[in-house]
Amino acid sequence: MYTFARCSLKQPSRTLIAVGMVLWPTGLAHRISILGSDSPFTREVERLFVVVLLFSILIVAVVIGGMGYVILRFRHHGRKAMVEEQAPDIPTPAHLETILTVIPLGIVLILFGFTAQSLYSYAQRPANALVVNVTGYQFWWNFNYPEYGLDYPNELVVPQGQAVQIEGTSADVMHVFWPPDLAANINLIPGITNRGWFRADRAGIYYGLCNQICGSSHAWMLFRVVVLPPDEFNAFISEVRNYQAPQPATQSIAQGAQLFAQQCAACHLVQQTSGQQLAGPNLSLFGNRITLGAGRLPNTPENLKRWIANAPGFKPEVRMPAFPRLSNADLDALSAYMLSLKLPGFSYSDPSQR
Ligand code: CUA
């Protein structure tokens, strides 16, 4: 607000910006929340939140009520009287210390019981879970589906209503996998596999982030969870398994494919090849992705050109170098080629889904 107060905007513009700044976080809070009914995890968190909140209200009521009573009861005793008079003789209940110890201890034990119950129920790993190997990289995510031999980086596509078992590790520094609407943090540590699970009970697009400082672009290490109805998920998977990178349909796409082979193929694959992993994300099906640069920008041709030309400008310390020598026509061709790598009929970029 300080910046806006100093700049020379006219009053109506300032008012609009101020209203926008107030409403924007509200909208964001609606989209990302650790409370809610979208997953068993958030339901447990919400249950604990309500229990703790009720006890907190009770404690505040007792403390404020007691203070209020004392203030009103003795309001006629002035400062002078308080110093000179004998303190009033208030009758003290027997065993006061015992009562004041047992009540808080009881509250703590009740909260402990609820928490232990939630932890126990969440620790029960469901059978028939879809296994996804999650690997954190500076600053992107690889989601590998061992059952299907599929790598689909930065967007985790899962079926609605089926448990997803996460097997998480890191390729470099420590990261934390966290889709707040769906699951608890899972620490991704090099050389160690940490496990956790979640289930999304509602179809839609959910936000995810890295929850551990891991370098200059930690804040841009984002992902999406795309939750599809089971039929659509099965259709997606069967299409993916039969996927072949399409033949270039236009001159520009063919030129893009050639440029890709020269400039990009050392770090990026464009075909699912089980087990093979290069330095950068696998880009087969890139045209189906909602975002690029691990959630950095919406996946549009214009953004893709800007990203290829100068990725470090969008994401400091990213491994991908800038390509200042590519002409605008080269960038057009590359972007046309990369966006052509897709399964037709599977577009998830409609934000109204969430
Ligand atoms: Cu990865 Cu922060």
Q: How far is the CA of 347 from the centre of ligand 1 (A)?
A: 27
Of 182, 190, 233, which is closest to residue 208 (Cα–Cα)?
182
How many other CB atoms are found less than 10 A from the CB of residue 154? 22
Q: Which amino acid, 340?
A: S
Predicted pLDDT of residue 88: 65
Ligand 1 neighbours by CB, cut-off 6 Å: 136, 139, 175, 210, 212-214, 218, 221
When pLDDT is averaged across residues 276-299 and rounded to a whole number, the result is 88
Return the SS3 of 297: strand
pLDDT for residue 4 is more than 50: no
pLDDT for residue 231 is more than 60: yes
Predicted pLDDT of residue 271: 79
How many other CB atoms are found less than 10 A from the CB of residue 271? 12
Predicted pLDDT of residue 141: 96
Q: How far is the CA of 255 from the centre of ligand 1 (A)?
A: 35
pLDDT tens digits for 126-135?
Answer: 888 999 999 9
> Given the CA of residue 173, which atom of ligand 1 is nearest to it?
1
> Given the CA of residue 213, which atom of ligand 1 is nearest to it?
2
> Given the CA of residue 219, which atom of ligand 1 is nearest to it?
2
pLDDT tens digits for 106-152?
Answer: 999 999 999 999 888 888 888 889 999 999 999 999 999 999 888 88
When pLDDT is averaged across residues 48-73 and rounded to a whole number, the result is 93
Average the pLDDT over each of 234-243, 313-322, 344-353 and give the range with the smallest value.
Answer: 344-353
Strand order across the beta sheet in which 204-210 lies: 155-159, 222-228, 204-210, 175-178, 186-188
Q: How far is the C-alpha of 102 from the C-alpha of 120, rounded, in Å?
A: 26
Predicted pLDDT of residue 17: 47
Average the pLDDT over each of 40-44, 271-275, 279-283 and give the range with the smallest value.
Answer: 271-275
User: Which residue's alpha carbon is at the smallest distance from atom 1 of ligand 1?
Assistant: 175
pLDDT for residue 83 is more than 70: no
Q: How far is the CA of 139 from the centre of ligand 1 (A)?
A: 7
The total number of residues shown for the chain amounts to 354
Q: Given pLDDT bands bounded at 50, 70 and 90, which one contains residue 302?
A: very high
Q: How far is the CA of 188 from the centre of ligand 1 (A)?
A: 9
Q: How far is the CA of 298 from the centre of ligand 1 (A)?
A: 20
Predicted pLDDT of residue 343: 86
Contact 309, 331 (CB under 8 A): yes
Q: How far is the CA of 40 from the centre of ligand 1 (A)?
A: 25
> Given the CA of residue 176, which atom of ligand 1 is nearest to it?
1
Phi then psi for 189, rounded to 5 degrees? Answer: -125, 130
pLDDT for residue 244 is more than 90: no
Q: Given pLDDT bands bounded at 50, 70 and 90, which one contains residue 335?
A: very high
Mean confidence (pLDDT) of the chain: 84
Whether the predicted model's global pTM rises above the 0.85 cut: no
Predicted pLDDT of residue 85: 62
pLDDT for residue 168 is more than 80: yes
Predicted pLDDT of residue 31: 65
Predicted pLDDT of residue 24: 45
Q: Given pLDDT bands bounded at 50, 70 and 90, which one contains residue 96?
A: confident
DSSP character for 190?
B
Of 36, 65, 345, 25, which is closest to residue 202 (Cα–Cα)?
36
When pLDDT is averaged across residues 41-61 and rounded to a whole number, the result is 93
pLDDT tens digits for 182-192?
Answer: 999 999 999 99
pLDDT tens digits for 175-229?
Answer: 999 999 999 999 999 999 999 999 999 988 899 999 999 999 999 999 999 999 9
> Given the CA of residue 138, which atom of ligand 1 is nearest to it?
1
> Given the CA of residue 215, which atom of ligand 1 is nearest to it?
2
Strands (E) located in 109-203 = 130-137, 140-145, 150-151, 155-159, 163-170, 175-178, 186-188, 194-199
Predicted pLDDT of residue 1: 29
Q: How far is the CA of 209 from the centre of ligand 1 (A)?
A: 8
Q: How far is the CA of 213 from the centre of ligand 1 (A)?
A: 5
For the chain, helix, strand, coil in percent to 5 are: 45, 15, 40
Q: How far is the C-alpha of 35 from the C-alpha of 148, rounded, in Å?
A: 32
Q: 25 or 79, which is more confident?
A: 79
Contact 35, 50 (CB under 8 A): no
How many other CB atoms are found less than 10 A from the CB of residue 161? 14
